[in-house]
Amino acid sequence: MTGRTPGGDAAGAPGDDPVPDRIHARPVPRPGRWVSAVVLLVLAAMAVNALLTNEKFRWDVVWLYFRDVTVVRGVGWTLVLTFGSMLIAIVLAVLLAIMRRSDNPVMKAVSWGYIWFFRGTPIYTQLVFWGLISVLYPRLSLGIPFGPEFFEFRTADLFTAFVCALIGLSLNEAAYLAEIVRAGLGSVDPGQTEAAKALGMKDGKILTRIVLPQAMRVIVPPTGNETISMLKTTSLVLAVPFTLDLQYSTNAIGNRLFLPIPLLMVAAIWYLLITSVLMVGQHYVERYYGRGFGTQTSGGRRGRGPGGRGRRPGKQDLIAASGTTKDDPFLEVTP
Amino acid sequence: MSGTHDAPAPAAGTPMVQVEGLHKMFGDLHVLKGVDLEVPRGSVCVVLGPSGSGKSTLLRCVNELEEITGGRIRVDGELMGYREVTKDGRTRLHRLHPKVVARQRSRIGMVFQRFNLFPHMTALDNVAEAPVQVRGLSRSEARARAAELLDRVGLADRADHYPAQLSGGQQQRVAIARALAMDPELMLFDEPTSALDPELVGEVLAVMRDLARSGMTMMVVTHEIGFAREVADTVVFMDEGVIVEQGTPEQVLGDPQHERTRSFLAHVL
Ligand SMILES: Nc1ncnc2c1ncn2[C@@H]1O[C@H](COP(=O)(O)OP(=O)(O)OP(=O)(O)O)[C@@H](O)[C@H]1O
Ligand SMILES: [Mg+2]
C-alpha cells in the first residue's frame, strides 16, 4: 500500500497521495512529559551507580557464588518445590472448585471449610505443623475409622522434610487457586453448558471439553502470578525445616563467610531470573488459551481481526474490515 | 392424565412431539399453564407469541433443559425425562438417570438465539465435537462428516475459522450444522434470526427452508411471519402460557379467530 506512513515518504510523487491536502499538524507541546522522563532517568542512573560502585556489594563474590554448586542445586530444589506444589495445588483446586459448585451440601461445606482453614492460617505456621506431623502421629495406619486397620507405617519414613514442604506448600496454595478456578468456571457463559447439554454431552465432558478450556482464559493470568509468588514462598520451607532450597543455601554460605549481602544478591538475582523465564512462559500459555477470543463482540455478532493465534490474517481481515458479507458463498450454493 | 402408562412402540402414525397438559413454574411464577400440542413427523411447527408468553420455555422443556412441573412430553413416543412405573394400580414417575436424559437430548437438535458456538474451537471442531464425545466417532471420521455438513450450510471455506471470525449469519449456520451432526430426528429453533443484522437473516432462513424440505421435523419460535407463511405446516399462537389458537398458516395468519392473535399480528406485520 502507499501512503501508509504519516510523513508520506512511501509515496513516490506527491500526486500519488489519495488524500488531497493531507494534514501534517504539529503535536500539542507537552513539556511535563519531558521533564518527568528526565527526572526518572536521573534517579535510575543514581540507583544503578549506587549498586555498582558500593564495594560492600562485593560483586566478585556475587559472581563466584552465583555459579556455586550448592547454590545451583538450591535453585534446582526451589524449582522442584515450586512446580511440584503448583501441580498438586492445581489438581486439588479444580476438585475444590467443582465441589464448591456441586449441589451436594456436604461437598460444598467441605470445600468451604478447607478454603476457610488454609487461607485463614499463615503458611509459616502450616509448614511448622507439617514438620511436626511425625511427632504428633508417630505411626500412621490405613483402615476404617474405629474399625480394623489394614497396614501401618512410621510417619517419619514417609513424611521426609521434602514431602512435608511439598504438602505444606501445595495444600495452602490449593485454597487460593480454588477461588481462582471457581471465578474462572463462573466466567463461562451458561449458554455454553446449555449448548453442550442440548447436544447430549454428559456433565464430565462438558466440564473438560467446553467449560474448563474457556475458563482457562480467566484462570491462567492469576495462576501465573501465584506461581511467581510460590517461587518466593518456597523460601519459607526452613520452617519445616527443609534446608536445600535457594534461600536457605545462600543464607548458610553468607553466614559462614560473614558476607551476607553478596549472597543475598546471589539469591535475588536467581529469583529474578527464574521469574523472568516464568513470565515468558505465562505469555505463551495465555496466548494458547486466548485462541478464538480475538475480539468477540457481545451477542456474538461479527468479530474483527484474526483470533488469538493470529495465524490467519489476510482475507478474513479484509472481509471484516469491509463490514459486509457480500462474498457470502452461501448465495451461490443454494438455488 | 391419560391412561397410556406402557410407552407405546413408536408407530409410524405417532406424532414426533406430543405435549400433554404441560405446566412449568419458576418458583411462584406460572409460565406454562397447560399446553397441549402435537407435531407430526416431518412437519414444521412455528410458534408465535408476544415476549414472555413462554415460547422459549416450551422449547426448553421439550429438550429437558428445564424440569417440567406437570404434564407429559413425548418425543417419538418416548416419555422425556421420566419413567412411568405402575404399582398396585397407581402410576408413579421416576426421574431418569442423567445418562439416559443425555441420550434423549442427543436425538434433538437445538439452535439458540445467541448461537452459543464454542468460541475456543474452529467451526469444523464445533460441528465435530459432539459426535466424538457422544457418539464415540473417531476425530477424523467426525471431521470428515463435519466438513460435509459445513458444505451443506454453505460454509465449506470457513471450516478453520473461529466463531469470532465469522459473521452472525455464518455463526448461526455453523450452529445449525453442529446440531445436524448428531443426526437429530427433531430440530428446535429458538428465535434463530433475532440476534442477526437484517441483511443476514435471509441466509439462515434459507438453510432452515432447505432443512424443512428435506423432511426434518422442526419446532421454530420466530417473528419472521413470512417464513411461517411459507414453510410452516402448523402455526401456534401462544400468550400468557397457553396456546390461544393453532392451525394452518392460512387459518392463524390469514383469518385469526382470537382478538389477541389479531392484535399481535397487527403489531408484527
Ligand atoms: N430461569 C428462569 N427463572 C425464572 N423465570 C424465568 C426463567 N426463564 C424464563 N422465565 C420467565 O418465564 C416467562 C416466559 O419466558 P420465555 O423466555 O419462555 O418467554 P418467550 O415467550 O420466549 O419470550 P421472548 O419472546 O422474550 O423470548 C418470562 O416471564 C420469564 O421472565
Ligand atoms: Mg424466548
Comparing alpha-carbon positions, the chain B residue that sits nearest to A299 is B114
- Interface probe with B: pick from A193, A330, A331, most Cβ of B within 10 Å: A330
ipTM, 2 dp: 0.91
Residue B7 in this model has a pLDDT that exceeds 60 = no
Neighbours of B26 (CB within 10 A): 10
Query: Is there a contact between B200 and A292 if contact means CB atoms under 8 Å apart?
Result: no
Q: Could you give the 3-state DSSP secondary structure of residue B244?
A: strand
**Summary mean pLDDT of chain A:** 83
Domain CATH code at residue A212: 1.10.3720.10
Question: What is the share, in percent, of chain B residues with pLDDT greater than 70?
Answer: 96
- In this predicted model, which residue has the larger pLDDT, A318 or A272? A272
By CA distance, what is B188's nearest residue in A? A198
CA of B134 to the centre of ligand 2 (A): 27
Interface mutation target, options B57, B118, B162, B203, chain A, most CBs of A under 10 Å: B162
C-alpha separations of B88 from A159, B91, B92 in Å: 61, 8, 10
In sequence order, what E strands does chain B have?
17-26, 29-39, 44-48, 70-75, 78-79, 82-87, 90-95, 108-111, 186-190, 217-221, 234-239, 242-247
> What is the residue with the minimal CA distance to atom 4 of ligand 1?
B26
CB of B252 closer than 8 Å to CB of B237: yes
Higher pLDDT, B12 or B96: B96
Q: Residues B19, B62: contact at Cβ < 8 Å?
A: yes
* Partner residue opposite A294 with nearest CB, options B98, B165, B199: B165
Query: Is residue A136 assigned to a domain?
Result: yes
Asked which of A62-71, A320-329, B27-36 is least confident by mean pLDDT, the reply is A320-329
Distance in angstroms (rounded) separating the CA atoms of residues A127 and A133: 10
Domain assignment present for A90 = yes
- Write the residue in B116, B156, B160 that is nearest to A195 by C-beta: B116
**What is the number of domains present in chain A?**
1
Pairing of strands B78-79, B70-75: antiparallel
Q: Could A200 and B116 be called an inter-chain contact, meaning their C-beta atoms sit closer than 8 Å? A: no
* Residue-level pLDDT at A27: 87
The predicted-structure confidence for A202-256, as pLDDT tens digits, reads as follows 999 999 999 999 999 899 999 999 999 999 999 999 999 999 999 999 999 999 9
Quickly list DSSP for A269-332: HHHHHHHHHHHHHHHHHHHHHTTT-SSPPGGG----S--TT----THHHHHHHHT--TT-THHH
Burial of B99-110, coded b for 16+ CB within 10 Å and e otherwise, reads eebbebbbebbb
Q: What span, in angstroms and rounded, lies between the C-alpha atoms of B181 and B203?
A: 19
pLDDT band at B139 (very low <50, low <70, confident <90, very high): very high
Residue A311 belongs to some domain of the structure = no
Q: Which residues partner with B17 through β-bridges?
A: B39, B75
pLDDT for res A136: 86
Report the DSSP pairing between strands B234-239 and B217-221. unpaired
pLDDT recorded at residue B11: 58
Q: Which pTM does this prediction carry? A: 0.79
**Within a domain: residue A319?**
no
The DSSP call for residue A247 is H
Which positions in chain A touch B118 (Cβ < 8 Å)? Answer: 192, 195-196, 210, 214
Tell me the pLDDT tens digit for each residue of B158-176: 999 999 999 999 999 999 9
Q: How far apart are the first and last CA of chain A?
A: 38
Q: Which one, of B24, B28, B17, lies nearest residue B56 by Cα?
A: B24
Q: Rounded CA gap, B193 and B179, in Å? A: 16
Question: Which mutation among B55, B66, B67, B240 tests ligand 1's pocket best, with the greatest number of atoms within 8 A of CB?
Answer: B55
Over 70: is that where the pLDDT of B61 sits? Answer: yes
pLDDT for residue B169 = 95
Asked whether residue A154 is domain-assigned, the answer is yes
Q: Would you call A300 and B169 a contact, using CB atoms and an 8 Å cutoff?
A: no
Confidence of residue A148 (pLDDT cuts 50, 70, 90): confident
Judge whether residue A310 has pLDDT over 50.
Answer: no
**Contact call for B112 and A209, based on CB within 8 A:** no
Instruction: Please give the average per-residue pLDDT across B33-51, as a whole number.
Output: 96
Per-residue pLDDT, A14: 58
Q: Which domain holds residue A279?
A: 56-290
Going by pLDDT thresholds of 50, 70 and 90, the confidence category of residue B44 is very high
> How many C-beta atoms lie closer than 10 Å to residue A325's C-beta?
21
Residue identifier of the C-alpha nearest atom 29 of ligand 1: B52
**pLDDT tens-digit profile of A15-64?**
678 888 889 998 888 899 999 999 999 999 999 999 888 888 889 999 99
Is position A104 within any domain? yes
Q: Residue with the nearest Cα to atom 22 of ligand 1? A: B56
**Cα→Cα distances A313→A72, A282, A294, A328, Å:** 45, 24, 12, 18
Q: Which of B260, B104, B100 is nearest to B185 (CA)?
A: B104
Ramachandran angles phi, psi of B206, nearest 5°: -65, -40
Mean pLDDT on B140-160: 96
Does the distance separating the beta carbons of B63 and A198 come in below 8 Å?
yes
Q: Specify the higher pLDDT residue, A34 or A324.
A: A34
pLDDT at A323: 37
Residue A314 lies in a domain: no
Are A255 and A176 in contact by the 8 Å Cβ rule? The answer is: no
Cα–Cα distance for residue pair B213/B44, rounded to 1 Å: 10
pLDDT of A298 reads 35
pLDDT for residue B10: 53
Of A200, A305, A312, the CB nearest to B102: A200
- Lowest mean pLDDT segment, chosen from A45-59, A187-201, B219-233: A45-59
Q: Tell me, yes or no, whether A63 lies in a domain.
A: yes
Q: CB–CB of B88/B5 below 8 Å?
A: no
Most distant CA pair in chain A: distance in Å?
Answer: 95
Beta-strand relationship, B78-79 and B234-239: unpaired
Residue B47: name the closest of B181, B196, B244, B213 by CA: B244
Q: Tell me if A292 and B103 make a contact (CB, 8 A cut-off).
A: no
